[in-house]
Amino acid sequence: MTGLKKLRIVLLGSVLAVAIAGCSSKTPEEESYDLLEELASIEQGYEEQHEPLQKLEAEDNEIYAQIIELGMKEMDEIKTLSDEAITGIEEREELMKKEKESINESRERFGDFDGLIEELSDKKAQTEAAELQKIMKQRYDDYDQLYDLYLASLAEEKKLYELFKDEKATKDQFETQIESVNKTYTELSEANAQFNEQTEKYNNKKISFYNLAGIEVDSEQP
């Protein structure tokens, strides 16, 4: 529902922009600045999911540690803890979906940057803007991979907790599933590092573009 409201706001803003286009006195440089800063505002929805996600991840680690400490003799308690963990996994899935909504909205809005690049008066600023665009598009692709791997890791975690609830599960089954979980964790960690690196590149390139385009910004702005 939140994502739908945001989409309506963006659409309304687009209609208003068309209506007053003839009255706008902003330069392409100023419009570029407004657009890029709007993306930062849109992605606040992405940022807002981090804290609850981290909290749920910490709770999952605690539950897993409790299950390992119990061993397989306290099956009733293990089943209860496993159900709690699965509920937490499902909550994380929903948070990730909300996070992706913000990224998708940002990606759609960023499409307007294409037309602005050609209108920039300074050639060096145009080149810098084109490089900024390339970095941002790669960042969106990196996020897609990160999102898919995160959901894949949650699926593997869920399988492990379902296994904990199975009194007939064998040692080999546990070892195989734990190996699968660890594999997805490794891939997820690498994808997360790649996304963070691309985000840092984007932030640095954005400031460089602002400087070449003659846009004054707060020196503390990312």
User: CA dist 149 to 65, 199, 216, Å?
Assistant: 23, 18, 39
Q: Which residue has the higher pLDDT, 173 or 16?
A: 173
Taking residue 48's Cβ as centre, other Cβ atoms within 10 Å add up to 15
Average pLDDT over residues 61-77: 89
Q: Which of 83-87, 92-96, 218-222 has the lowest mean pLDDT?
A: 218-222
Average pLDDT over residues 29-56: 92
Confidence band (pLDDT; 50, 70, 90) for 71? confident
pLDDT digits (tens, 9 = 90+) for 166-222: 999 999 999 999 999 999 999 999 999 999 999 999 999 999 999 999 998 765 554
Mean pLDDT over each residue of the chain, to the nearest integer: 87
pLDDT digits (tens, 9 = 90+) for 1-11: 233 233 332 33
Distance, in Å, from the CA atom of 144 to the CA atom of 194, rounded to the nearest integer, reads 12
Distance, in Å, from the CA atom of 138 to the CA atom of 136, rounded to the nearest integer, reads 5
**What does the block give as tokens for 145?**
């991979």
Average pLDDT over residues 68-86: 91
Q: Which of 20-24, 59-63, 85-89 has the lowest mean pLDDT?
A: 20-24
Burial call 63-78: b when 16+ CB within 10 Å, e when fewer = bbeebeeeeeeeeeeb
Cα(first)–Cα(last) distance of the chain, in Å? 30
Look at residue 64 and tell me whether its pLDDT is greater than 80: yes
Average pLDDT over residues 25-53: 92
pLDDT for 36 equals: 96
Distance, in Å, from the CA atom of 139 to the CA atom of 212, rounded to the nearest integer, reads 22
116 in Cβ contact with 73 (< 8 Å): no
pLDDT digits (tens, 9 = 90+) for 107-154: 999 999 999 999 999 999 999 999 999 999 999 999 999 999 999 999
**What does the block give as tokens for 49?**
């999911």
